[in-house]
Amino acid sequence: MRLVDRHGVRREHSSFTVPDPAMLAELHRAMVIGRRFNQQAGTLARQGRLAVYPSSTGQEAAQVGGVLALGERDWLFPSYRDSVAMLTHGVDPVETLTLFRGDWHCGYDPHRYRCAPQCTPLATNASHAVGLTYAARHKGHDVAALVLMGDGATSEGDTHEAYNFAAVWNTPVVFLVQNNHWAISVPLHRQSVAPTLAHKAVGYGMRGYHVDGNDAAAVHSVVAHALTEAREGGGPAIVEALTYRVDPHTNADAPQRYRDDGEVEYWVERDPLIRMETLLRNEQIVDDGLLEVYERDAERIATVVRDRMAGEDRLDPASLFTDVYAEVPPVLERQRNELAEELREV
Amino acid sequence: MAHTFPTSETTMGAALNRALRDALAADPDVLVYGEDVGPLGGVFRVTDGLTADFGEERCFDSPLAESGIVGTAIGMAAYGLRPVVEMQFDAFSYPAFEQVTSHLAKMRNRTRGAVTLPVVIRVPYGGGIGGVEHHSDSSEAYYTHTPGLRVVTPGTPADAYSMLREAIDCDDPVLFLEPKRRYWARETVELPVRTEPMQRSVVRRSGSDATLIVYGPMVATALEAAEAAAGEGRDLEVVDLRQLAPFDDATVTASVRRTGRAVVVHEASVFGGYGAEVAARVTEQCFHHLEAPVLRVGGWDVPYPPPKLEEHHLPGVDRILTAVDRLQWESEWVEGR
């Protein structure tokens, strides 16, 4: 499924329509910010200010397109490569990076942003989304969820269980599979021999959609449709967004060991930002002035990230013991005192 | 239909059922689900009648998938419900292990207290019922090694009721281990009852010569052993730990300081077992009061055996008393204590 081709030209589709101009502009703005954010975070990782950073350059359309389809009360369940999605969802840019900076695990209050902690053991957050939307319905609330997962994660048993629970319980969850072709170094054909990952939906009695993941308009249109259907009781859905991880897995990866530059080039030519910018310019939805504003917005966020991370935050070692249990048990009270003693001796 | 018994005698199974009933009635956010817990009432009938009495919205069957059961409970709890889920048998809980250790136990810590997960996972555990393969594990050490999780196990029907109510009300995730061979154990007690807070160990039998440190299914066995020992002139104290993690060692160390001798008993294999932690802790804190090394009694370090051999695996009165005999009593005579 594609609504805008790689040359920025609209394609007719029988069931889906291109989002309105305001949304197209918003999709592009979010992608511009996301790309700059990925660059800035990558730089911080090279400087040693982040312990690690998994870039999503090249996948902006899939992340932004999915997230901007969410309603005000909906939840996002990201994995570690979904910083751009989180940023678009409204999570503070520095709090998005707390995990990678090593200051703490989850840097934000999930309730505040309706965003679950970034999931590192892949696919284990998928069933959380099913439970959360189940609970919301139990309480009479209209809350849907978008789960972000990659092609590798679809091999996990937890993915199967979450798909099945969502389908059996008919919870409003859309599973957006960003098929970026590589699970670190393992190619898709070693993960699955299914015709597409979207085909898997059939076995769960779900709807499955296969979409050009570098076409933000298409991703947005399909995810919005799937969310609406799910809210109305039509059941959860799998949306496979075909995209590509242009950067290495993380700054510690060595992609030359497992893939050709030519493959990367092929996908760079299908860059989601260029495609959208071409469409917006050709249809005079945005002009140079507005595009410059987007660039400045992106630069401002990059500057904020840089500045706020310039120094070291003081971390309190005693905080290790505070949020393990609702109340600090005697055994941890003793250990907190032991650590305090160690610190006095230093 | 719920279990009914004459007067105020109750079994542990019925006490657990009553605790679930009372919790469902007390708090609309409580719900119960798992495999076969609906119309069937669970394979041990602990959830008997709950679907009929509270409706499918409050007690229902889920797909047969333990990781999904715990994973969805995490999502529900994050949104304000208090799910009580069942793992049908100890060894069937392992598919959910990642959800328990990486998410359930850590979520409060990962989010600096922003997300709390009041989930109770009920697990019938241990052997002694003639169960075939994979139905008799004592899995407690896997879970007690996980910070953030409360691991509790009742040894009596009154405790089963009180501790389950407390677990459901608790804001920490609780792994609630039910000693399945004691489901039919009877006690005369009027329900509802509230016993000691679950984090506190209790002295089940006072004695002056040595302390038997036990929990769950071994509470009754230890009391039996203490009775037998009394006939031989040895006065054994029995401490029921109740909450295994976090471990509050105050009661047990106070006991050992008085008696000077201790044996930790559990069904699980001894090597790397929970008893090793208890023995180490008692030794560290009571060293100058000890007359003998703290001994451990448990199952052999073998996979849980088939039903016809389990009696040779499980620690019973004889194995406990043999250990008590090895507590270097001769030193008393030598030193003229």
Considering the domain boundaries, does residue B196 fall inside one?
no
Q: Are residues B136 and B283 in the same domain?
A: no
CB crowding A55-80: b at 16 or more within 10 Å, else e: bbbbbbbbbbbbbbbbeeebbbbbbb
Contact A173, A166 (CB under 8 A): yes
Contacts of range A43-51, beta carbons closer than 8 Å, 24 or more positions apart = A44/A97, A44/A305, A44/A306, A44/A309, A45/A100, A45/A250, A45/A251, A46/A251, A49/A101, A49/A309, A50/A97, A50/A100, A50/A101, A50/A102, A51/A100, A51/A101, A51/A102
Q: Give the residue-averaged pLDDT of B128-153.
A: 97
The nearest alpha carbon in chain A to B147 belongs to A324
Chain B residues inside the 8 Å CB shell of A126? 71
Q: Give the residue-averaged pLDDT of B218-227.
A: 98
Cβ separation of B71 and A162 shorter than 8 Å?
A: yes
Q: Are residues B184 and B232 in the same domain?
A: no
Q: Are residues B65 and B93 in the same domain?
A: yes
B12-64 pLDDT, tens per residue? 999 999 999 999 999 999 999 999 999 999 999 999 999 999 999 999 999 99
Among B65, B76, B277, CA closest to A130: B76
Cβ separation of A331 and B98 shorter than 8 Å?
A: no
**Res A312: pLDDT:** 77
B90: domain range? 9-188
Q: Are residues B215 and B182 in the same domain?
A: no
Rg (CA), chain B: 20
Q: Give the residue-averaged pLDDT of A339-346.
A: 92
Residues of chain A with pLDDT > 90: what percent? 97
Distance CA A88, CA A109 (A): 16
Among B72, B80, B81, B79, CA closest to B104: B72
A294-320 pLDDT, tens per residue? 999 999 999 999 999 988 778 999 999
Cβ separation of B77 and A131 shorter than 8 Å?
A: yes
Q: Are residues B113 and B174 in the same domain?
A: yes
Pairing of strands B59-61, B30-34: parallel
Distance CA B262, CA B257 (A): 10
Distance from CA of B227 to the nearest CA of A (A): 33
Cβ separation of A132 and B75 shorter than 8 Å?
A: yes
**SS3 label, residue B17:** helix
A185-228 pLDDT, tens per residue? 999 999 999 999 999 999 999 999 999 999 999 999 999 999 99
| DSSP assigned state of A79 | B
Q: Which of A128, A171, A334 to substitute to test the interface with B, most B CBs within 10 Å?
A: A128
Distance CA B135, CA A268 (A): 55
Considering the candidates A249, A270, A275, A294, report the single residue annotated as catalytic.
Answer: A249
- What angle in degrees, to the nearest 10, is found between the helix axes of A21-46 and A93-101? 30
B135 is catalytic: yes
Q: Are residues B48 and B173 in the same domain?
A: yes
Residue for token digits 């990642």? B98
**Res B4: pLDDT:** 55
CB crowding B72-88: b at 16 or more within 10 Å, else e: bbbbbbbbbbbbbbbbb
Q: Are residues B44 and B162 in the same domain?
A: yes
Q: Indicate which CATH number applies to the domain containing B27.
A: 3.40.50.970
Distance CA B294, CA B257 (A): 12
The interface predicted TM-score of the complex, written ipTM, equals 0.97
DSSP H stretches of helix in chain A? 21-46, 60-67, 83-89, 93-101, 110-113, 126-138, 157-169, 200-204, 216-229, 261-268, 272-282, 288-308, 330-345
Contact B126, B178 (CB under 8 A): no
> Dihedral of the CA atoms B13, B16, B22, B28 (nearest 10)?
-120
Among B136, B126, B179, B141, CA closest to B276: B141
For domain A21-315, give the CATH superfamily.
Thiamin diphosphate (ThDP)-binding fold, Pyr/PP domains (3.40.50.970)
Cβ separation of B115 and A110 shorter than 8 Å?
A: yes
pLDDT band at A346 (very low <50, low <70, confident <90, very high): confident
Residue at which a domain ends, from B188, B213, B233: B188
Size of interface A-B (CB pairs under 8 A): 144
Q: Give the residue-averaged pLDDT of B115-120.
A: 98
Query: Does any CB of chain A come closer than 8 Å to the CB of residue B248?
Result: yes
Considering the domain boundaries, does residue B194 fall inside one?
no
Chain A residues inside the 8 Å CB shell of B110? 104-106, 117
Q: Are residues B39 and B93 in the same domain?
A: yes
CB crowding B205-218: b at 16 or more within 10 Å, else e: bebebbbbbbbbbb
Distance CA B263, CA B268 (A): 14
Nearest to B110 among A105, A161, A332 (CB): A105
Distance CA A65, CA A270 (A): 16
Distance from CA of A290 to the nearest CA of B (A): 38
Chain A residues inside the 8 Å CB shell of B108? 323-326
Q: Which of B79, B102, B107, B117 to substitute to test the interface with A, most A CBs within 10 Å?
A: B79
Considering the domain boundaries, does residue B294 fall inside one?
yes
Considering the domain boundaries, does residue B171 fall inside one?
yes
Considering the domain boundaries, does residue B4 fall inside one?
no
Query: Does any CB of chain A come closer than 8 Å to the CB of residue B72?
Result: yes
Contact B55, B32 (CB under 8 A): no
Query: Does any CB of chain A come closer than 8 Å to the CB of residue B68?
Result: yes
Q: Are residues B129 and B259 in the same domain?
A: no
Q: Give the residue-averaged pLDDT of B236-264.
A: 97
Query: Does any CB of chain A come closer than 8 Å to the CB of residue B65?
Result: yes
Contact B278, B301 (CB under 8 A): no
Q: Is the pLDDT of residue B147 over 60?
A: yes
**Res B2: pLDDT:** 54
Our count of domains for chain B comes to 2
Cβ separation of B199 and A329 shorter than 8 Å?
A: yes
Among A152, A144, A166, CA closest to A119: A152
Q: Are residues B163 and B312 in the same domain?
A: no
Q: Is the pLDDT of residue B256 over 70?
A: yes
Considering the candidates B135, B145, B266, B313, report the single residue annotated as catalytic.
Answer: B135
**SS3 label, residue B217:** coil
**Res B337: pLDDT:** 46
- What angle in degrees, to the nearest 10, is found between the helix axes of A93-101 and A288-308? 40
Distance CA B104, CA A153 (A): 20
Query: Does any CB of chain A come closer than 8 Å to the CB of residue B114?
Result: yes
Other CB atoms closer than 10 Å to residue B272's CB: what's the count? 12
Distance CA A7, CA A3 (A): 11
Q: Give the residue-averaged pLDDT of B117-136.
A: 97
Cβ separation of A110 and B114 shorter than 8 Å?
A: yes
Cβ separation of A162 and B109 shorter than 8 Å?
A: no
Q: Give the residue-averaged pLDDT of B238-250.
A: 96
Other CB atoms closer than 10 Å to residue B53's CB: what's the count? 14
First-to-final CA distance of chain A: 62
Q: Is the pLDDT of residue A114 over 60?
A: yes
Distance CA A80, CA A54 (A): 7
Q: Is the pLDDT of residue B335 over 70?
A: no
Among A321, A114, A326, A323, CA closest to B110: A323
CA atoms within 13 A on the CB side of A185: 7
Q: Is the pLDDT of residue B6 over 70?
A: no
> B197: part of which helix (H) or strand (E)?
none
Q: Indicate which CATH number applies to the domain containing B210.
A: 3.40.50.920
**CATH 3.40.50.970 domain range(s) in chain A:** 21-315
**SS3 label, residue B6:** coil
Q: Are residues B210 and B156 in the same domain?
A: no
Q: Are residues B77 and B209 in the same domain?
A: no
On average, the pLDDT of chain A sits at: 96
A119-161 pLDDT, tens per residue? 999 999 999 999 999 999 999 999 999 999 999 999 999 999 9
> Dihedral of the CA atoms A223, A225, A231, A237 (nearest 10)?
-60
**Res B80: pLDDT:** 98
Considering the domain boundaries, does residue B193 fall inside one?
no
